[in-house]
């Protein structure tokens, strides 16, 4: 029995994610783009398997471990991946016959030269199939602690669930866990609002379904196809970017002619919005630590036809070696990414609690260096795609204590800058918390979880 192309792709991607620490979305998209004559249905199944197995890994391992002498995590990696793929199909994909899921998992492990594990996989997956209709909650043993129970059933690390329960309460935590296990909307930004109708029609003609954005006038969501393969994308009319991410540069209120610094700028989605607002008379310097990411930004700028962007490779944790000061600065700080667990599910298995304090030190250094380059009267936005206070509120608190003359922009002013860009019916107040910080939620807004603070120099 031959292994289907979709399962081959999924298996290979999952191996790289686990063995090399690769980003699932990057490896998957590269694999799909280079697979000649891949049918849309096969690409969709490969994507479903990769992201589904990564999202539900803990629950899958719990179900599998019950039927084995050795935990899944201690098995050879190819065997563990084949078991998880088979269990995911049996438990979550009702349209796939259990026999097909079991048989192809056996063939996958043979393809990986682990034929000795074939009988184990066959036996365990048949047991998983026999209990597929039983709710996972009914399988959990009695007496499991509440946080542990939620963590297993919703497939997250227990330490993460414990943190969120303490901060958000049970109801909001469950909503967040559920949102993290749903496929996120594939959102796009349209760069020529006047051509929106024509752009949407062209995407629909190519077989895609287009919906209006949840937050922004210039955003829309696509399903049923890849906008990256469209002429609208190739010609620079659209970019693929989460709506919360699209909103961040709009908070700065960049004016025509402004001198703008974009730190930690790759892959450049926010840079594009800053450059358009600054116009031909303005300048945007977009900086990143890694040369390969700067090269990727260069390709992005060329695709979008941006002429007023200067790309720089620099380490923002060190004093910034650029002349002069800037009217507007965006610090899109490197972070844990806990606001993007639906889009990047592998993060939840790699992150450790101590990583948050490590990130905070890095973020604090970057923000302090950026504030030194802010002109009098200038505005700075500090943003992350994290929902953790160590990387957000705590960083801002430290910066304000150590930076005389820097103060938060009044929430009313921040809301006023964003309001003109919002979709009909969206109130700017819904995106700002009582403390004045900008926040989006995967559960409440169906976007990534972003944080932003706006600071000004007097």
For 334-349, what is each residue's pLDDT tens digit?
Answer: 999 999 999 999 999 9
User: For the whole model, what pTM was predicted?
Assistant: 0.95
Which residues, 6 or more positions from 57, have their beta carbon under 8 angstroms from its beta carbon?
Answer: 84, 155, 349
Q: What are the pLDDT digits (tens) for 78-123? A: 999 999 999 999 999 999 999 999 999 999 999 999 999 999 999 9
Band of residue 36 on the pLDDT scale cut at 50, 70, 90: low
What does R_g of the chain's alpha carbons equal in angstroms?
23
Identify the three-state secondary structure at position 402. Answer: helix
What are the residues facing 311 on neighbouring strands?
Answer: 286
pLDDT of residue 33: 83
Active site residue 301: no
Q: What are the pLDDT digits (tens) for 169-208? A: 999 999 999 999 999 999 999 998 888 999 999 999 989 9
The Cα-based distances of 17 to 25, 131, 158 in angstroms read 10, 29, 22
Band of residue 261 on the pLDDT scale cut at 50, 70, 90: very high
What are the residues facing 262 on neighbouring strands?
Answer: 286, 330
Between CA 135 and CA 430 the distance in angstroms is 36
pLDDT of residue 192: 85
pLDDT of residue 346: 98
What are the residues facing 30 on neighbouring strands?
Answer: none
CATH, range 5-136:
1.10.940.10
pLDDT of residue 38: 85
* pLDDT score of 50 more than 70: yes
| Cis bond before residue 267 (omega within 30° of 0) | yes
Between CA 239 and CA 115 the distance in angstroms is 45
Q: At what angle do helices 77-92 and 57-65 cross, to 10 degrees?
A: 100
Alpha helices per DSSP H over 21-157: 24-34, 40-55, 57-65, 77-92, 98-111, 118-130, 136-139, 146-153
Which residues, 6 or more positions from 171, have their beta carbon under 8 angstroms from its beta carbon?
Answer: none
* pLDDT score of 399 more than 90: yes
Band of residue 441 on the pLDDT scale cut at 50, 70, 90: very high
Identify the three-state secondary structure at position 113. Answer: coil
Asked which of 146-150, 431-435, 450-454 is least confident by mean pLDDT, the reply is 431-435
Q: What count of residues does the chain have? A: 458
Between CA 159 and CA 349 the distance in angstroms is 11
Of the residues 264, 301, 335, 385, only one is catalytic, namely 385
Q: What are the pLDDT digits (tens) for 219-239? A: 999 998 889 889 999 999 999
- Locate 51 and state its tokens: 């992201």
Band of residue 425 on the pLDDT scale cut at 50, 70, 90: very high
pLDDT of residue 1: 61
Between CA 111 and CA 137 the distance in angstroms is 34
Q: What are the pLDDT digits (tens) for 288-319? A: 999 999 999 999 999 999 999 999 999 999 99
CATH architecture of 186-240: 2-Layer Sandwich (3.30)
What are the residues facing 188 on neighbouring strands?
Answer: 220, 240
Band of residue 40 on the pLDDT scale cut at 50, 70, 90: confident
CA 317 to chain centre: 24
Mean per-residue pLDDT, 410-415: 90
pLDDT of residue 225: 86
* pLDDT score of 2 more than 80: no
Question: Options 3.40.50.150, 2.40.110.10, 1.20.1300.10, 3.40.50.2300; which CATH number does 243-457 get?
Answer: 3.40.50.150
Parallel, antiparallel or unpaired: strands 259-263 and 283-288: parallel
Which residue's structure tokens are 């970057």?
366
- Of 235, 237, 275, 216, the C-alpha closest to 428 is 216
Identify the three-state secondary structure at position 432. Answer: strand
Band of residue 258 on the pLDDT scale cut at 50, 70, 90: very high
333 and 280 Cβ atoms separated by less than 8 Å: no
Q: What are the pLDDT digits (tens) for 270-292? A: 999 999 999 999 999 999 999 99
Domains of the chain by residue range: 5-136, 146-181, 186-240, 243-457
356 and 308 Cβ atoms separated by less than 8 Å: no
- Of 72, 45, 46, the C-alpha closest to 60 is 72
- Report the percent of the chain where pLDDT is more than 90: 92
The pairs formed by 106-109 with CB atoms below 8 angstroms and a separation of 24 or more are: 106/82, 107/1, 107/2, 107/3, 108/3, 108/7, 108/8, 108/11, 108/78, 108/82, 109/78, 109/79, 109/82
Residue 7, H or E segment: helix 5-20
pLDDT of residue 229: 86
pLDDT of residue 195: 87
Mean per-residue pLDDT, 131-154: 96
The rounded mean pLDDT for the chain is 95
Supply the DSSP string of 344-383, one letter for each residue: -TTHHHH--HHHHHHHHHHHHHHHHHHHTTEEEEEEEEEE
């Amino acid at each position: 029995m031959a292994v289907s192309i979709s399962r081959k792709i999924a298996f290979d991607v999952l191996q790289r994610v686990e063995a090399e620490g690769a980003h699932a979305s990057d490896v998957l998209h590269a694999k799909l783009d280079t697979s000649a004559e891949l049918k849309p249905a096969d690409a969709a199944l490969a994507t479903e398997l990769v992201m589904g197995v990564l999202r539900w890994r803990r629950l899958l391992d719990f179900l599998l471990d019950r039927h084995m002498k050795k935990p899944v995590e201690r098995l050879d990696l190819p065997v563990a991946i084949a078991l998880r793929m088979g269990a995911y199909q049996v438990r979550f994909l009702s349209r796939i016959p259990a026999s097909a899921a079991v048989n192809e998992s056996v063939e996958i492990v043979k393809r990986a030269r682990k034929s000795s594990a074939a009988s184990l996989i066959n036996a365990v997956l048949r047991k998983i199939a026999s209990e597929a209709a039983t709710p996972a909650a009914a399988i959990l043993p009695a007496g499991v602690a509440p946080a542990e129970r939620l963590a297993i059933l919703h497939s997250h690390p227990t330490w993460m669930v414990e943190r969120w329960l303490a901060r958000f309460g049970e109801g909001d935590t469950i909503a967040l866990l559920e949102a993290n296990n749903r496929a996120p909307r594939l959102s796009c930004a349209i760069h020529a609002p006047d051509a929106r109708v024509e752009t949407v029609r062209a995407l629909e003609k190519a077989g895609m379904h287009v919906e209006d954005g949840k937050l922004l006038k210039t955003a829309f969501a696509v399903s049923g196809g890849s906008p990256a393969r469209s002429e609208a994308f190739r010609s620079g009319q659209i970019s693929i970017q989460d709506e919360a991410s699209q909103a961040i540069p709009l908070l700065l209120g960049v004016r025509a002619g402004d001198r703008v610094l974009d730190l930690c700028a790759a892959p450049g989605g926010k840079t594009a919005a800053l450059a358009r607002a600054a116009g031909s008379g303005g300048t945007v310097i977009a900086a990143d630590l890694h040369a390969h990411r700067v090269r990727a930004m260069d390709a992005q700028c060329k695709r979008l036809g941006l002429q007023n962007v200067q790309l720089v490779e620099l380490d923002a944790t060190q004093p910034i070696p650029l002349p002069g000061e800037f009217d507007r600065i965006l610090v899109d700080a490197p972070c844990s990414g806990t606001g993007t667990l639906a889009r990047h599910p592998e993060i939840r298995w790699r992150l450790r609690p101590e990583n948050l304090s490590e990130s905070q030190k890095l973020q604090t250094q970057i923000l302090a260096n950026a504030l030194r380059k802010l002109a009098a009267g200038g505005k700075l936005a500090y943003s992350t795609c994290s929902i953790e206070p160590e990387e957000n509120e705590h960083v801002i608190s430290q910066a304000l204590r150590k930076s005389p003359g820097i103060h938060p922009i009044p929430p009313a002013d921040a809301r006023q800058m964003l309001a003109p860009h919002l979709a009909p019916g969206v109130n700017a107040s819904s995106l700002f918390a009582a403390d004045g910080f900008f926040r989006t939620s995967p559960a409440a807004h169906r976007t990534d979880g972003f944080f932003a603070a706006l600071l000004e120099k007097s």
